[in-house]
Amino acid sequence: MENPNPKSLMAAFHFQRALSLVHRTASKSSRAVRGRRIQCAAYASMAYSAGPRRAWSRALLRRLRRAARRRQPRAGWRRRAAAGAGAASRVATGAAGLRRLVPGGGGMDYCSLLEETADYIKCLSVQVKLMQSIADSASLCGQL
């Protein structure tokens, strides 16, 4: 994995801390609840390590904070996740579809939207690789 990038190191660090926190505080809850919280942690650490200069990271953190403050994150996340995963074909295509997918996409012009999308894709793929390797090493050491 090409990981000497400081940004991805920070992302890994934040994510692991969040992960351990989730596991310690929510070990009694169901797996779905924990999974949801881990998903929040993933997005949060990704956005945090991306920095405040990116519009998508600001918007993502704003959304997460609002959800956490409202104390009903599960309902909101389920609705949003279901809308995202289930209605895949129904999501608009073109620029409108991108705006819906990329956090903070609604408030930008097309040019910045493309730029933010590129950065978002980069950080998302880094995060996915990170989680993949954590899961792999976890399952590996779980078998030992």
Partner 1 sequence: MESAQSSGVGSGNSDTYTPEIAESLRFQEEIQSLIDPSFDGSPAAGGSFTALLGLPANQAVELLHEQGPGELPVSGAASSSPTAGEMWRLRVGEEAAPALRLPLDCSPTFPSNAALVERAARFSVFATAESPASSTGGGPSPRLKTEPADSDSPPTLPIAAEKPQRPTKRKESEKSKGKTPAKKSKNAEENTGGDKLPYVHVRARRGQATDSHSLAERARREKINARMKLLQELVPGCSKITGTALVLDEIINHVQSLQRQVEFLSMRLAAVNPRIDFSGLDSFLSAECGPLTAGNGRGGAVLDPAMWSSEATAAASGTRRLPQQQFWHVDLMRPQQPSTMWERDGASHPHFLLNPATSLFVYDPANSVPLNSNQLKTEL
Residue from 78, 79, 83, 128 touching partner 1 (CB under 8 A): that is: 128
Pair 105, 113: CB distance under 8 Å = yes
Q: Does 78 bind partner 1 (CB under 8 A)?
A: no
Q: Does 63 bind partner 1 (CB under 8 A)?
A: no
We find the least distance from the C-beta atom of residue 116 to partner 1, in angstroms, to be: 10
Q: Does 125 bind partner 1 (CB under 8 A)?
A: yes
We find the least distance from the C-beta atom of residue 79 to partner 1, in angstroms, to be: 14
**The two structure tokens encoding residue 93:** 């295509």
Q: Does 82 bind partner 1 (CB under 8 A)?
A: no
Round to whole Å and give the CA distance between 73 and 23. 18
Round to whole Å and give the CA distance between 23 and 26. 6
Q: Does 34 bind partner 1 (CB under 8 A)?
A: yes
We find the least distance from the C-beta atom of residue 106 to partner 1, in angstroms, to be: 14
Q: Does 86 bind partner 1 (CB under 8 A)?
A: no
Q: Does 60 bind partner 1 (CB under 8 A)?
A: no
Residue from 16, 83, 90, 106 touching partner 1 (CB under 8 A): that is: 16
3-state SS assignment for residue 125 = helix
Q: Is the dihedral of CA 127, 43, 106, 96 positive or negative?
A: positive
Q: Does 103 bind partner 1 (CB under 8 A)?
A: no
Round to whole Å and give the CA distance between 55 and 122. 14
Question: How many residues lie near partner 1 (CB under 8 A)?
Answer: 97
139 to 38, 67, 107, 135: CA distances (angstroms)? 17, 31, 41, 6
